[in-house]
Amino acid sequence: MFTFWCGETGTDHNKGHLCTYASDYRYLIVQHHNDFMYDINKEIRFGNGGELLILSPGSKIVHGSPKDSGLRYIDDWIIVSGEHISTLLSELRLPMNVSFDIGDARFIAPYITRIRNELNVHRMGRHCIASNIIGEMLVAMGRQYEHVLNMRLPQKYRIECVRVEMLANYRNEWTLKTLADMAGYSQSYFCALYQKFYGISPIDDLLAYRINIAKNELARRKCSITDISEKCGFTAIHHFSRYFKKYVGVSPSGYSKQMPKTVAE
């Protein structure tokens, strides 16, 4: 049996606010209305509006709008537990601690509403019904995730697998040849497909991602610019400074000085 602990739909946070949650034996499932950043176990990543994120027990997350988005952060979220929930999530092959898309930007909200409506009325079997709704939600999530992956086969799925690997290991020295070989395409065809699907070249996409990581590290002011440069995968600090100014418009040191220290430690 699955247990519903709490959950809300359309939770609206103040501009610049970052939410922090540390799980024990429970799972946090959150769906973001707008583009977002998240820091899981001190690893900063970025996601798109509509994507889901499942936080596994024993993990800590800090999440909210990117600093320069200018938007209020809105999400739907639910906290659940259960003896067999980890087994079910594994069987459904749902990603853990990384954002993913299932093609439905408001997927979990109706389930949260159904669960709360059931529990708010004191009638026989309400906890059993709530548990069944949680199970139904997870299975539907897994099926939709599988459907999205199947719809992207073969080209987009192959390109996306390469992109996920590249961004998950953004510190590596990636080359077009390595990326194209992973996808099984020539370099020119790989670049053309990447541009078609994401509107940006693979190398520019990687650089933009590294710069976003660097911006948040600079706002923390916990490391030197040289350390941040190395942490973000740049082989030389002058390369880092040049690309940072190209993408952001100011130098790394200038950006650090103008940004308030707002990221939770």
Q: What is the share, in percent, of the chain residues with pLDDT greater than 90?
A: 65
Taking the C-alpha atoms of residue 61 and residue 38, their distance in angstroms, rounded to an integer, is 7
In the chain, domain spans: 2-152, 155-258
Q: In whole angstroms, give the CA distance from residue 258 to residue 254.
A: 6
262 pLDDT higher than 70? no
Q: In the predicted model, what is the mean pLDDT of residues 232-255?
A: 91
Q: Which listed CATH number (1.10.10.60, 1.10.150.20, 1.10.3720.10, 2.60.40.1180) goes with 155-258?
A: 1.10.10.60
Strand partners, 76: 31
Question: How would you write the chain as a 3-class SS string?
Answer: CEEEEEEEEEEECCCCCEEEEECCCCEEEEEECCCEEEEECCEEEEECCCCEEEECCCCEEEEECCCCCCCCCEEEEEEEEECCHHHHHHHHCCCCCCCECCCCCCCHHHHHHHHHHHHHCCCCCHHHHHHHHHHHHHHHHHHHHHHHHHHHCCHHHHHHHHHHHHHHCCCCCCCHHHHHHHHCCCHHHHHHHHHHHHCCCHHHHHHHHHHHHHHHHHHHCCCCHHHHHHHCCCCCHHHHHHHHHHHHCCCHHHHHHHCCCCCCC
Average pLDDT over residues 205-231: 89
Of 7-16, 108-117, 164-173, 213-222, the poorest mean pLDDT is in: 213-222
Per the CB < 8 A criterion, the answer to whether 157 and 107 are in contact is: no
pLDDT band at 261; cut points 50, 70, 90: low
pLDDT digits (tens, 9 = 90+) for 180-192: 999 999 999 899 9
Which of these ranges, 31-35, 40-44, 118-122, 258-262, has the smallest mean pLDDT?
258-262
Burial of 53 (0-12, 13-18, 19+ CB in 10 A): buried
CA distance 61 to 48: 17
Average pLDDT over residues 72-85: 93
Q: Tell me how far apart the alpha carbons of residues 194 and 156 are, in angstroms, rounded to a whole number.
A: 8
Domains 2-152 and 155-258 share a fold: no
Average pLDDT of the chain is 90
For the segment(s) 2-152, the CATH number from 3.40.50.620, 2.60.120.280, 3.30.310.80, 3.30.390.10 is: 2.60.120.280
Question: Is the pLDDT at 168 greater than 80, yes or no?
Answer: yes
